[in-house]
Amino acid sequence: MLERTVIVTGAGSARGIGRETCLRLATAGWTVAALDLDEGGARETAGLAAAVNGADAVGLACDVTSTEQVDAAVSAIERDLPPIAALVNNAGITAPTRFLDIEEDEWDRIFEVNVRGTYLVTRRVLPGLLERSNGRIVNLSSVSAVRGGGVFGGSHYSAAKAAVLGLTRALAREVGPRGITCNALAPGLIATDITGGKLTPERQAEMMADVPVRRAGTVGEVASMVVYLCSDDAGYVTGATLDINGGSHIH
């Protein structure tokens, strides 16, 4: 059994950033705990991660917006796996709705998963990291948060991912003295299924015309940055937002 565990939320989707992140972290020597709404997907990810490094990876059903489910999942991980040393808040949802068409329920759901979910899982995991004076937290934001949308998600998604950045920065300052780093990634369009078939080829071509490298990013390109942020070498990087957007936002 490898000696430290990383939790990755939203790690069940077959073509998603979360699954690839689990596989790359397994390659880097982490024991992987994959959480997702979709239990089957999470278990499949865990099986693939275990096959990479032979560690006892687990895949659990967990809705990150539920305090009870988050507590149950993290308690099981604390009981069964090596100490948790990193958390990747990757679970997220989006929708391409124009501002005046957003219903209150949709606004709330986007914030619930992206912001409240990040808060709830971090709140549950952080005490253990503080106890061991060691930890890495990586939050998935989006380039939408910093360039005024213009990617796929609507203004609610931009606002929620900007909230994730605010949380990342404030928490980095608060927990830095206790040996914990907290960083964010701001990806541009990455080829996954998050767009739920709602990204038309025309809209994608229009978006790519605005990207200097002229293509969508890959999950591997994002996952390898997460692996870096979780590594020992990244100990002097905190409160940072790492861009991975093909040059679509240069600042």
Question: Using the 8-state DSSP alphabet, how is residue 85 labeled?
Answer: E
In whole angstroms, how close is the CB of 36 to ligand NAD at the nearest point? 5
CB nearer to ligand NAD: pick between 53 and 241: 241
In the bound complex, what is the minimum distance in angstroms from residue 178's beta carbon to ligand NAD?
Answer: 26
Q: Are 89 and 121 in contact (CB under 8 A)?
A: yes
> How many C-beta neighbours within 10 Å does residue 40 have?
11
Least distance (Å) between residue 132 CB and ligand NAD:
25
- Token readout for 94 is 């989006």
- Measured from each CB, the residue nearest to ligand NAD is 92
Closest contact distance (angstroms) between CB of 148 and ligand NAD is 14
**Closest CB to ligand NAD among residues 90, 134:** 90
Q: Is 228 a catalytic residue?
A: no
- Which CA distances in Å does 21 have to 81, 128, 165, 178, 225? 18, 22, 20, 26, 9
The CB density around residue 89, as the number of other CB atoms within 10 Å, is 29
| Token pair in block for residue 27 | 């390659």
DSSP letter (8 states) at residue 143: T
For ligand NAD, the closer CB: 135 or 187 = 187
Which residue number, 126 or 143, has a Cβ lying nearer to ligand NAD?
143
Q: Which is nearer to ligand NAD, 134 or 229 (CB)?
A: 229
209-241 as b/e: b if 16+ CB within 10 A: eebeeeebbebeebbbbbbbbbbeebeeebbbb
Shortest distance (Å) from residue 56 CB to ligand NAD: 22
User: Per the structure block, which two tokens stand in for 245?
Assistant: 């957007």
Instruction: From the candidates 119, 157, 228, 236, give the one annotated as an active-site residue.
Output: 157
**Which residue ranges make up the site for ligand NAD (CB under 6 A)?**
9-10, 12-13, 16-18, 36-38, 41, 62-65, 90-94, 113, 117, 140, 142, 187, 189-190, 192-194
Catalytic center residues? 157
